[in-house]
């Protein structure tokens, strides 16, 4: 595991020599070699990466492997509570955790736009290195491409992740059962609104910060505490509503949730109202739902509250079989309505 302090790193490529990314930084020549050696290897330093081979040889240990990949194209690159670098780590780490896997290794593919300030790239890379260290993973391989100015919007990042599953639980939509309690790990919609507030120039009394964070430590604690986890899902694009609809259809069950139990910060709710958005459909980057037997719900909540605001970890509903494939929401005024997926894109470029 990384044992160096990424917070003390300074950009090793002299800004006066190459203040911006050039097409030559992706050409395979001296400048590309310098970029890899002095930016990426300097920030992501570990013995596996330092093999400098076409692929990395990994020894994940016992158990089954889980693998995932995702791409990040967020605008703006920096937002309150995070940036594209930390987001790329958190998103992939959390996808592995939702399978019950312990994340171990990441790859990092960078598509850089010609003219990108080198200092901007360095800040993103250092943030990414810190996020990987905090999540307990290593970035062990990668790739860099440079595209013409105007063709890449600064930085695009692809990360793939590998994790090991060292338990006998079958954590998947097919494992959801009638009577399961649905535990939400915290407040919703903050990531999407943090990004949109910056993009739209919205100002509030307090700054809305993204919830972007790794959740693998929480999941590992749940598994170590002998929680019979049936399913988990992180609430990224499409928010809690889309995630639950996907699960209801995949598991062919009826998911009942209560609006009043779903925590939304007042500044986030206000931002949603200004933009005409439903917080149920706004993306999160550090929140997930967990399906467990009803008898274990209190224990799950207790464990999750060690990592989050106690009042914001709640049971938001239960699973039944009377309306299979459907999600229903009991509203704050006592009525019940069906929840469906969005027909289009509500918030573009937020992850």
Q: Please give the pLDDT value at position 345.
A: 63
Rounded (10°) CA dihedral 216, 195, 301, 322: -100
- What residues in the chain have per-residue pLDDT under 50? none
Entry pTM: 0.90
**How far, in Å, CA of 163 to CA of 253, rounded?**
29
**For residue 255, what pLDDT is reported?**
98
Residue 31: per-residue pLDDT = 87
| pLDDT tens sequence across 66-100 | 999 999 999 999 999 999 999 999 999 999 999 99
The set of residues, in sequence order, having a beta carbon less than 8 Å from that of 188 and lying 6+ positions away, is 235, 239, 240, 262, 263, 264, 268, 279, 280, 282, 284, 287
pLDDT at 212: 97
For 270-298, the pLDDT digits (tens) are: 999 988 999 999 999 999 999 999 999 99
Q: Domains for the chain: give ranges and CATH numbers.
A: 6-165 (3.30.1330.10), 173-339 (3.90.650.10)
Please enumerate, as own/partner, the contacts of 145-148 that have beta carbons within 8 Å and a separation of 24 or more. 145/26, 145/109, 145/110, 145/111, 145/112, 146/21, 146/22, 146/23, 146/24, 146/25, 146/26, 146/27, 146/111, 146/112, 146/113, 146/114, 147/26, 147/111, 147/112, 147/113, 147/114, 148/23, 148/113, 148/114
261 close to 314: Cβ distance less than 8 angstroms: yes
- Three-class secondary structure of residue 77 per DSSP: coil
- Residue 201: per-residue pLDDT: 82
């Amino acid at each position: 595991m990384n044992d160096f302090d990424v917070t003390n790193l300074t950009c090793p490529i002299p800004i006066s020599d190459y203040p911006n990314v050039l097409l030559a930084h992706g050409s395979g020549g001296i400048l590309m070699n310098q970029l890899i050696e002095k930016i990426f290897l300097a920030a992501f330093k570990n013995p596996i990466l330092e093999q400098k081979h076409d692929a990395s040889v990994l020894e994940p240990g016992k158990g089954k492997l889980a693998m995932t990949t995702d791409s990040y194209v967020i605008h703006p690159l920096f937002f309150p509570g995070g940036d594209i670098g930390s987001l790329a780590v958190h998103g992939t780490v959390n996808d592995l955790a939702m399978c019950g896997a312990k994340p171990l290794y990441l790859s990092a593919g960078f598509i850089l736009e010609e003219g990108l300030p080198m200092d901007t790239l360095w800040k993103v890379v250092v943030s990414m290195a810190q996020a990987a260290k905090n999540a307990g993973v290593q970035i062990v391989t990668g790739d860099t491409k440079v595209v013409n100015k105007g063709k890449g919007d600064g930085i695009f990042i692809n990360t793939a992740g590998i994790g090991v599953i060292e338990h006998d639980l079958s954590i998947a939509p097919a494992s959801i059962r009638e009577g399961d309690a649905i535990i939400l790990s915290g407040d919703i919609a903050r990531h999407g609104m943090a990004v949109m507030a910056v993009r739209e120039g919205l100002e509030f009394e307090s700054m809305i910060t993204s919830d972007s964070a790794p959740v693998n430590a929480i999941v590992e604690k749940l598994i170590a505490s002998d929680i019979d986890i049936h399913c988990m899902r992180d609430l990224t694009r499409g928010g809690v509503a889309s995630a639950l609809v996907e699960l209801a259809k995949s598991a062919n069950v009826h998911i009942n949730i209560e609006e009043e139990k779903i925590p939304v910060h007042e500044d986030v709710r206000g931002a949603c109202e200004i933009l005409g958005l439903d917080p149920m459909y706004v993306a999160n980057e550090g929140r997930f739902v967990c399906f467990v037997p009803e008898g274990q719900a209190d224990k799950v909540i207790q464990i999750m509250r060690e990592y989050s605001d106690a009042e914001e970890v709640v049971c938001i509903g239960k699973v039944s079989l009377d309306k299979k494939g459907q999600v229903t929401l009991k509203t704050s005024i006592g009525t019940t309505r069906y929840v469906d997926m969005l027909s289009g894109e509500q918030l573009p470029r937020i992850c």
